[in-house]
A and B are shown apart, each in its own frame.
Chain A
Amino acid sequence: MESKIGAGMTLTQEAAQRRVADIISAIPVVLTEYRCPLCARVFPGYSGLREHYEAEHAGAIAPIVVMLMLNGKGCEVLIEPHWTLKRTLQFRLGLTGTKHMCDKGVCGSCTVIMDGRPVLACQILTAECEGRDIQTIEGIAADPKWKPLIDAYCRWDAMQCGYCTTGFLVTAKALLDRNPNPTERECREALAGNICICGTYPRHSQAIIEAAAAMSGGGVDG
């Protein structure tokens, strides 16, 4: 049993960037096996799985294959039709930076960017995501362009327990995409849908404004 997947002990920005890039590259583009969610039998092709359903699980709704465009990479994924994007990211693609908190569209911890807009992955069916451009925290963290934002969040320690942090960061990235120089008020408005029980709110605006300055060529006091 693989156990090294858990640790997540990464001390530098460069190491973290490499790690998330590895996670993205490990996602297979094409499915090579099709596992039955009801009995765990594995089939080499989708048609085999469909036939198995008709024969063994008549009346049950068969899984479907969806082509997702995630972090600039196309990938096939086998899901059940009712699965949310949040569930697919975690259980099919190993992208656990999109966090499960309320599962009700309230907390913002599962925020991803879809076609340029921050959206809640717990409220979107994966089946509806085909052909949409989806960015997760892993894609943002792997992109050197967004190093200043990651750096600023870490420098400002805009996190405590860290569970909600990635949701904030994805929302912040979406904000900077549409507004490269946000004011504090604009930062607060953009982040209004993200909840942090630790109370790190003031730090987020500071980090975003610092990142915006760095990305536009301004200096960073430090």
Chain B
Amino acid sequence: MADLAGANGQREDFRVVGKHNLPGKLSYALATGIAKFGIDYVVPGMAHAKFLRSPYANARIRSVGTARARAVPGVLDIVTWEDEDVKKLGAGGFGPPAAYIDDTADMENAEVGVVVIAENEDICEEALRALDVDWEILPHVVDVLKGRQDAAPIARQRQDAPSMFAPPPSQPKRGNVSYAATVQGDLAQGFKEADHIVEYTLKLPAFLSGMPNPPASVAWWESDPYHGEGPDLHIEGAVQRRENVGMMYGVPPEKTVQTGLFQGGRYCDWGLRKSQEITPLLAKRVGRPVRCSNTREETFDFLMNERYMYLKVGFTNEGLITAVDDFSIADNGAYGSSSFGAANDQGYGPYYTLKCKNISQRMDVVDTNRGKMYLSGQHCPFNWDSGTMAIYLIAEKLGLDPIDVAKLNLHGPDSQDDTRPVPSFEACMEAGRELMGWQWHRSGERTLPDGRRHGASFRYQICPRHAFSGYECKL
């Protein structure tokens, strides 16, 4: 055992370390049904709210008549984008400053224009059906490659402001397409030094974030001297981001109260939905707690947008990568999509885990009306998908274990010039190899006893979402 310095020293009587099958702190709350998620909250006197949602992929509301909807028994209030309350409410979450809701929808099912508050959800839906909406239907883009063409209709009626994370674009936006490029080193020289060159294309389809608990919140206003003067905002269902909601309403963190702990399954998706942000405004208007919940269909958001990739990799007989030429076309989705996974991802230094410095990575990022992504990452770092494929292709070509290829190409802990191994990475890999009984062989060399092929993959950028990735790959 290592001679650890510090309080633990040679201690061996840990209560948790080295033990298996220990309940987590919240396990009993989850297993017994006590745990409450945003959608579970029901409070006395609660009203319900629902958004008007666009039946079109790209549309604008010319006008909306609310008189018939207001006359539906049980309707408490109807809010439109023209209300001063709404105009004052800036959009939370991702994207540049913008109206919280307005007259424009650039994807099907987007919240647009109107929110109805009523005694229950059925009445909300009846009132929404009673709205007299005059839609201006606009041409749309739901095919990334067609959206990239010069003649394509413009997908977004609102343009993104520069992201605080994004580097300047490599060239001006044209039509729906933003451009990004990260180039370093001497690509031509890198390919000259290579003993082998492989090229391939890879298509990564969009896939759904698929959170199991539909996003929802319940909010109300109350006074509690414990938190000081003025009203407190109590909101349930905005776990981790209650302070962001408080900020939308000018409420300081100490007066934004939330007792719930459980946020459910969210993988690389931290964006609040409008249903989680609107309830404080509505609760203030009707003087009652208000609940707003998405259905599962209304949460059909991308965890990862569609992407087409082309990669050309040069490498030596030892498996050392000498040059990478990477080009991809990525779906930028509708307005308000997370800026992660788009042009700015280049700024995170794709491939910076490699010793190789001859790298070109270019990406065309195409606005579409297909959907929205709340947070993810498509390229950072070491281009997870195409980079991992490169390792496998090198391994197949040279008959090397892909883990060894990855280790050979990973630079040391200090810089890209550092050729030393990374101790923690080496230790993890060895432990993993032993645990799995990892014995790599070329594809198709062996089969299971019943003749079936089998597969196990290695990648050193691990993320649960990749378990759901589907690939179409042309080698």
Using CB atoms and an 8 Å cutoff, list the residues of chain A in contact with chain B: 1-13, 15-17, 19-20, 23, 37-40, 57, 60, 80, 82, 90-91, 94-104, 107, 109, 136-138, 141, 150-151, 153-157, 159-166, 169, 195-199, 222
The 8 A CB mask of B8-45 against A (1 = contact, 0 = none) is 00000000000001111111111111111101111110
| A1 interface neighbour in B36, B74, B212, B220, Cβ under 8 Å | B220
Any A CB within 8 A of the CB of B265: yes
Chain A to chain B: the 7 pairs with minimum beta-carbon distance, closest first: A97-B33, A162-B30, A154-B23, A161-B265, A141-B32, A154-B27, A96-B40
Closest residue of chain A to B24, judged by CB?
A157
Contact B259 A153 (CB under 8 A): no
Interface presence of B349 (CB below 8 A): no
Given contacts A101-B212, A137-B32, 13 further A-B contacts (CB under 8 A): A6-B236, A6-B259, A38-B74, A39-B119, A99-B212, A100-B213, A102-B296, A150-B31, A157-B21, A161-B264, A163-B213, A166-B30, A166-B33
Question: Which chain B residues (283-330) contact chain A, with CB distance < 8 Å?
Answer: 289, 295-296
Q: B29 is contacted by which of A8, A39, A138 (Cβ under 8 Å)?
A: A8
Pair A198/B21 contact, Cβ less than 8 Å: no
Are B31 and A166 within 8 A (Cβ)? Answer: yes
Query: Considering the chains assembled together, what is the distance between the CA atoms of A107 and B220 in angstroms?
Result: 31
Q: Which of B188-218 contact A (CB under 8 A)?
A: 210-214
B448 at the interface (CB under 8 A from A): no
Cross-chain contact A60 with B73 (CB below 8 angstroms): yes
> Does A38 lie within 8 Å of B123, measured CB to CB?
yes
Docked-complex contact A13 and B28, CB < 8 angstroms: yes
A95-B32 Cα distance, complex, nearest whole Å = 11
Binding site secondary structure of chain B:
loop
A126 to chain B, nearest CB (A): 14
What are some 5 contacts across the A-B interface (CB < 8 A)?
A1-B222, A1-B289, A157-B21, A159-B27, A162-B26
- Asked if B260 CB lies within 8 Å of chain A CBs, one says yes
Contacts of B241 in A (CB 8 A): none
CA of A107 to CA of B21, assembled, Å: 27
Q: Which residue of A lies closest to B36 (CB)?
A: A8
**In the bound complex, do residue A10 and residue B43 qualify as a contact, i.e. CB atoms below 8 Å apart?**
no
User: Nearest residue in A to B263 (C-beta to C-beta)?
Assistant: A161
Asked whether any CB of chain A lies closer than 8 Å to the CB of B262, the reply is yes
- Give the residue among B265, B267, B467 with the most A Cβ atoms within 10 A: B265
Question: Which B residues are in CB contact (< 8 Å) with A197?
Answer: 210-212, 265, 267
* Least distance between A20 CB and chain B CB atoms (Å): 5
- Measured CB to CB, the residues of B under 8 A from A are 21-37, 39-44, 73-74, 119-120, 122-123, 210-214, 220, 222, 234, 236, 257-267, 289, 295-296, 464, 467
**Cβ of B295 and Cβ of A103 under 8 Å apart?**
yes
With known contacts A40-B119, A163-B264, A20–B28 Cβ distance under 8 A: no
Chain A residues in 8 Å Cβ range of B35:
8, 162
Contact A91 B42 (CB under 8 A): yes
- Which B residues touch A8, using CB under 8 A? 29, 34-36, 260-262
Known: A3-B234, A40-B119. A20 touches B464 (CB 8 A): no
A199 contact from B23, B289, B467, Cβ within 8 A:
B467
- Output the least CB separation between A215 and chain B (Å): 16
Chain B residues lying within 8 Å of A17, measured Cβ to Cβ, are 32
Residues of B within 8 A of A98 (CB): 33
Docked CA distance A96–B260 (Å): 13
Contact of B33 with A4 in the complex, beta carbons under 8 Å: no
Q: How far is B260's CA from A57's CA once the two chains are assembled, in angstroms?
A: 38
Closest beta carbon of chain A to B295's beta carbon, Å? 7
On whether the beta carbons of A107 and B31 are closer than 8 Å, the reply is: no
Contact of A7 among B123, B210, B259 (CB under 8 A): B259
Q: Do residues B30 and A20 form an inter-chain contact, with CB atoms below 8 A?
A: no
- Neighbouring B residues of A169 by C-beta, 8 Å: 31
Between A16, A161, A166, the greatest number of chain B beta carbons within 10 A of the residue's beta carbon is seen for: A161
Given known contacts A19-B34, A99-B213, A102-B296, A11 and B73 CB-to-CB distance under 8 angstroms: no
Specify which of B25, B28, B119, B222 is in contact with A150 (CB 8 Å cutoff).
B28
**Cα separation A90 to B213 with both chains bound (whole Å):** 14
